[in-house]
Structure formats: structure tokens, C-alpha cells
Amino acid sequence: MRIHFVCTGNIYRSRLAEAYCTSRCVLGVHVSSSGIAAGRDGDAAISPYAADVLNQFGLGSFASANWQRTTEDLVRAADVLVLMESEHRRFCADWIEYARQRVEVWEVEDVGPIPEAEIPEKVQQTFEVIRQRIDTLVAALGVASERTDR
């Protein structure tokens, strides 16, 4: 089974989701992520705020090393496609196979624009939402997880 998370830049929401879902060590599941505009503004690494949260929870090693742009092949390969916003569904619409794929739109908003001092708290809140939704998704899929302590 393949679970794929899509956001805008693949430096924040989808990378948080990919790292956390991968950390669950779900048997027989491959997890990936991409962004519909990844790389548009240069070769950005993961957001430093997202990296801080992942490291705080011991999940840094589960994060992909690089961003990737959302492509038709990535969307079509997914059995479960999680889109962080409706905008991402519109971008992927021609590639989604609703009869075969489970598709969820989570409406997890991006971080900004907010004052820089508020960003760490916003990222923590976003990560908590993502964790809860992934735990619910994994339970709904009925797949076994080797790690349930997070």
C-alpha cells in the first residue's frame, strides 16, 4: 500500500505528515510526500520550524532528505492520497482515480503569514492535527503498526 501526502512546497505540512506516518512503522506501507509548487522558489530544504518539531519528537530521521514536486506518476501510484488543502485536489484532479484510490482533503492551513514569533506555536498545532489525522487514518485502514508509543 502507498500513502502519499501533498501540500504546496513539500517543506512543511506534507513532510511533517510523511515523517510521522513513516515513524509509525506501518507494515507493508510505503509513505511519500510532494508539493504542487515544490522547488518553485529554489532548492528549499525542509522548513526549519518543521525540522525543529520533528527533532523534538525524535522523528528527524524519518523525514525525507529532499523535497519533490507532485507529478502524475506520484498521484497515480498512491493507494491513499492525502491532500492538505482543496487547492491541492484541484491541481491533482485529472490524475486521481476515485474508484481505486482513497482520497482525503484535510484542510490543514499553511503556516503564514503570521508574525515570526508565533510560527513555532503554529507549527506545533499543525503537527498535532496531522498526528491525530494520521492515527485515525492508520486505524481506518486497519493496517498493523509496529510502533504505537507516539
pLDDT tens per residue across span 22-69: 999 788 899 999 999 998 766 678 899 999 999 999 999 999 988 999
Q: How many CB atoms lie within 10 A of CB 43?
A: 8
Which CATH number fits the domain that encloses residue 9? 3.40.50.2300
Output the pLDDT for position 25: 76
In a domain, 149, yes or no: no
- Identify the sign of the CA torsion 9, 14, 20, 24: negative
- pTM metric for this prediction: 0.92
Residue type for position 62: F
Q: Is the confidence at residue 147, as pLDDT, over 60? A: no
Q: What's the structural domain count of the chain?
A: 1
In a domain, 48, yes or no: yes
Task: Print the domain residue range for 45.
Answer: 2-141
Q: Is the confidence at residue 102, as pLDDT, over 90? A: yes
Output the pLDDT for position 148: 44
Q: How many CB atoms lie within 10 A of CB 136?
A: 11
Output the pLDDT for position 134: 96
Report the chain's mean pLDDT, rounded to a whole number. Answer: 91
In a domain, 64, yes or no: yes
Using the structure block, give the residue that is written with the C-alpha cell 513532510.
15
pLDDT tens per residue across span 8-21? 999 999 999 999 99
Q: Is the confidence at residue 149, as pLDDT, over 90? A: no
